[in-house]
Amino acid sequence: MAEIQLPYLLFVGDEHQESNAKTAFGVRQWRPEACTGQWNLPGGTVDTGLPKLTPAEAVARGARSLLIGVAPVGGQIAQHWIPAICEALEAGLDIVSGMHTRLGSVEVIRDTAARCGRALHDVRHGMRQFPVASGVPRAGKRLLTVGTDCALGKKYTALALTRAFQAEGLAATFRATGQTGIMISGAGVAIDAVVADFVAGAAEWLSPANEPQHWDLIEGQGSILHPGYAAVSLGLLHGSQPDAMVLCHDPRRTHIDGYEGFAIPPLDEVMHLHLLLARRTNPAARFVGIALNTSKLEPRAAEALLATTTERHSLPAFDPLRSQLKPVVQRALAL
Amino acid sequence: MAEIQLPYLLFVGDEHQESNAKTAFGVRQWRPEACTGQWNLPGGTVDTGLPKLTPAEAVARGARSLLIGVAPVGGQIAQHWIPAICEALEAGLDIVSGMHTRLGSVEVIRDTAARCGRALHDVRHGMRQFPVASGVPRAGKRLLTVGTDCALGKKYTALALTRAFQAEGLAATFRATGQTGIMISGAGVAIDAVVADFVAGAAEWLSPANEPQHWDLIEGQGSILHPGYAAVSLGLLHGSQPDAMVLCHDPRRTHIDGYEGFAIPPLDEVMHLHLLLARRTNPAARFVGIALNTSKLEPRAAEALLATTTERHSLPAFDPLRSQLKPVVQRALAL
């Protein structure tokens, strides 16, 4: 795909519920230096704490792209957003969207972008073709976050670990596999939108050969345990050829979300299954930590759980947003 | 997808090498009753043993579709085939193709089909959208052929077993997951062309709820062991929710074809891994046989190998094209 041009102006439309602007808040949290400001339409009240700017003002401060930071109902482009998107194109911004509807499918957006020479990025959709995976080992180190289910912290864990590696002075790159991750990093592959034959190949492309001591921190997707998404997870696992894995889990979740009959097995069984599969493309694959989402637990209960988990599995257990991550980095470096 | 209309006129073009007409020979072998005749262009010598007919003659004998039974170099439509394809449309035939190039991308073919009210089937490509898999168990019995690699008999095994089940008076349906299988059965899903998120959902759709004693014999794809295609195989495995599996193997193959570093593990390890994964969506999943492709072995060596394999794994080992399949059917019925 064409590289996304940073920094962003965050478009939050006429939204007034923060929960509908998760994308804007996620990018604001993880890439504050990539956010010039936010743009509310009349009636909108969402506040990310950034300066409120029009497209023209944002361009004057260096913004390169308008990021659609709100999720419209049904993933479609709201009619009253179309003039706003065109105004941003006219002002000189590319558009970055994670909506189901492709930007270019709206004629006036497509025509305005062409006339102004601006790029339209639909990060939810496949933006290029990939080869079938080669399985050939490549230089550099890779850590993949894997999970017991969807939506329990694989992206945040990979982002937090990227910071932790960099804080130790190590060369480390976050590799995004979903739309919010792509928006945060400005690059990546929406891996679940890739045709099944090419998922592992896309994962190989995403974390290419690198310096021997460089670490890619790869955002996991779905779960090997998920009856719907395991194919995505396995292709990503095989193509990533991880040296290190971190298992992400929400301790309050006993079953796959929305799939009653599908209990989450004990964590040691889950890790055993991942190792069996991962070692097909990297015989040296190991777990280096367990990330627990303890956001809904009292601090003392969270600490106790992390201590028990660390002891039971002889691996550093941590909360990516609460804990020191140095033990995980050290564990990975010791491999 | 729209159902393919049978029987076929097999188009073998100006081909004179049998090996380039595998599709025609496969359909001829497995669905002889669905083949009205073959059509050679001037200079073509491939002979499937069927009557040589023009499209008009074939229509007069009941043919409904022209099947492109030869694989052109690069999967593209040869220029000099285009008038022939249009002649078939004019004569009243639909067109069924497994080529990379979509039939409808050739303007004169698209226009002629529209004018004549004929259907164009591109079986290599996804022809419909699928939901994410539900994981919900459904009535009816399912057998999935799985393999240690690609291209070693998973389709033939499923076809041969379908015949064997039917020979015992059982209700049984072959479910195609690849283009040749789809051409043979007239329906199915090219599972490797499905977007990764929906592979398991497509597999659920392919073998829907049925009578409790009805068997679906599902054509496997790729291999869980394959560094490029495992995602496809796992999605198909999860969505198929097989009660029974048959492991297909080529005893002369020690490594994944074209992937030097990827040895094929011992068969009991391969079956263990499949059971671990299959039991996520069907806890009762079992192996009921091992299909060995012994076509390159002397009959006596083949017999000895089948006997040894049967004994070692306590499962009927068989060659789908040489052996009695009744023991496998009985094993499945005994589950």
DSSP B104-143: GGSHHHHHHHHHHT--EEETTS--S--PPP-----SSEEE
Contacts of B195 in chain A (CB under 8 A): 126, 192-196
Residue A179 Cα, gap to closest chain B Cα (Å): 14
**Domain termination site, one of B91, B122, B153:** B122
Distance in Å, alpha carbon of A199 to nearest chain B alpha carbon: 7
HSE-up of residue A335 (Cα within 13 Å, Cβ side): 22
Chain segment B100-136, per-residue pLDDT in tens: 889 999 999 999 999 999 999 999 886 678 999 999 9
Asked if residue B190 and residue B73 are part of one domain, the reply reads no
Q: What is the ipTM for the molecules in this complex?
A: 0.92
Q: For residue A248, what pLDDT is reported?
A: 98
The reply to whether residue B235 touches residue A230, judged by beta carbons under 8 angstroms, is yes
| Number of Cβ within a 10 Å radius of residue A78 | 16
How close does chain A come to B187, measured CA to CA in Å? 20
User: What does the alpha-carbon distance between residue B67 and residue B183 come to, in Å, rounded to a whole number?
Assistant: 8
The answer to whether the Cβ–Cβ distance between B201 and A228 falls below 8 Å is yes
CB distance B197–A192 less than 8 Å? yes
A196 neighbourhood in chain B, CB within 8 Å: 191-196, 199, 231-232, 235
Work out whether strand B172-175 and strand B244-249 pair parallel, antiparallel, or are unpaired.
unpaired
For range A23-43, the mean pLDDT: 94
Mean pLDDT, residues A118-123 taken together: 94
Range A194-222 average pLDDT: 97
Are residues B252 and B214 located together in one domain of the fold? yes
Q: How far apart are CA B265 and CA B244, in angstroms?
A: 21
The share of chain A scoring above pLDDT 90, in percent, equals 89
Same domain as A203, residue A91:
no
Contacts of B259 in chain A (CB under 8 A): 134-135
What was the pLDDT predicted at A73? 67
Backbone angles phi, psi at B67, to 5 degrees: -100, 125
Show the low-confidence residues of chain B (pLDDT under 50): 1
Indicate if B91 and B193 belong to the same structural domain.
no
B239 contact residues in A (CB cutoff 8 A): 227
**Are B228 and A201 within 8 A, CB to CB?**
yes
Domain co-membership, B117 together with B147: no
Contact A201 B229 (CB under 8 A): no
- Chain B residues in contact with A137 (beta carbon < 8 A): 261
Segments forming the whole domain that contains residue A77: 8-122
**Do B303 and B207 sit in the same domain of this protein?**
yes
Please give the distance of CA A44 from its chain centroid, rounded to a whole number: 26
Tell which phi-psi region holds residue B146, choosing left (phi > 0), alpha (psi between -120 and 50) or beta: beta
Q: What is the DSSP letter of B64?
A: -
Assigned domain for B3 exists: no
Q: Residue A100: pLDDT above 90?
A: no
For residues A48 and A42, give the distance between their C-alpha atoms in angstroms, rounded to a whole number: 16
Which member of B199, B228, B280 has the closest CB to residue A231? B199
Q: A134, A224, A238: which to substitute to probe chain B, counting the most B Cβ within 10 Å?
A: A238
Confidence of residue A125 (pLDDT cuts 50, 70, 90): confident
Work out the number of other CB atoms within 10 angstroms of the CB of residue B83.
Answer: 11
Determine the residue of chain B that is closest to A262 in CA distance: B280
| One domain for residues B172 and B46 | no
Shared domain for A112 and A166, answered yes or no, is no
Chain B partners of A232 at a C-beta cutoff of 8 Å?
A: 196-197, 231
pLDDT for res A124 = 85
The nearest CA of chain B is from the CA of A250 a distance in Å of 20
Q: Is residue A134 part of a domain?
A: no
pLDDT for A2 beyond 70: no
User: Same domain, yes or no, for A116 and A198?
Assistant: no
Domain end (from A122, A156, A181):
A122
**How confident is the model at residue A16, as a pLDDT?**
87
- Per-residue model confidence (pLDDT) at position B247: 98
Residues paired with A286 in a beta bridge: A244
Q: In this structure, is residue B85 part of a structural domain?
A: yes
Same domain, A218 and A263: yes
For residues A51-58, give the mean pLDDT: 97
A255-262 contact pairs (CB < 8 A, 24+): A256/A149, A256/A223, A256/A225, A256/A226, A256/A227, A256/B135, A257/A149, A257/A150, A257/A151, A259/A226, A259/A227, A259/A228, A259/B134, A259/B135, A261/B135, A261/B136, A261/B137, A262/A225, A262/A226, A262/A227, A262/B135, A262/B280
Which of A252, A190, A196, A193 has the alpha carbon at shortest distance from A219? A190
Whether residue B100 lies inside any domain: the answer is yes
What's the half-sphere exposure (Cβ side, CA atoms, 13 Å) at A16? 4
Task: Decide if B232 and A201 are in contact by the 8 Å CB cutoff.
Answer: no
Q: CA-CA distance, B35 to B18, in Å (whole number)? A: 17
| Domain annotation covers residue B130 | no
| Predicted local distance difference test score (pLDDT) of residue A160 | 97
Q: Kindly indicate the confidence band of residue A231, based on its pLDDT and cuts at 50, 70 and 90.
A: very high
State how far residue B333 is from chain A, nearest Cα, in angstroms. Answer: 26
Are the Cβ atoms of A197 and B228 closer than 8 angstroms? yes
Q: Considering only CB atoms, which chain A residues are within 8 Å of B281? A: 227
For the domain that residue A278 is a member of, what is the CATH number? 3.40.50.300
**Does A136 reside within a domain?**
no
Compute the nearest-CA separation of A331 from chain B (Å): 27
- Whether residue A106 sits in one domain with residue A149: no
Q: Is residue A3 part of a domain?
A: no
> Which of A93, A122, A151 finishes a domain?
A122
- For B196, which of A133, A231, A276 is closest by C-beta distance? A231
* A195/B194 Cβ within 8 A: yes
Asked if the Cβ–Cβ distance from A280 to B262 is below 8 Å, we say yes
Task: Let me know if residue A105 belongs to a domain.
Answer: yes
CATH of the domain at A36: 3.40.50.720
Question: Structure pTM?
Answer: 0.93
Contacts of residue A229 in chain B, CB cutoff 8 Å? 132, 197, 200
Does B196 contact A196 at a Cβ distance shorter than 8 Å?
yes
What total number of domains does chain A contain?
2
Same domain, B104 and B201: no
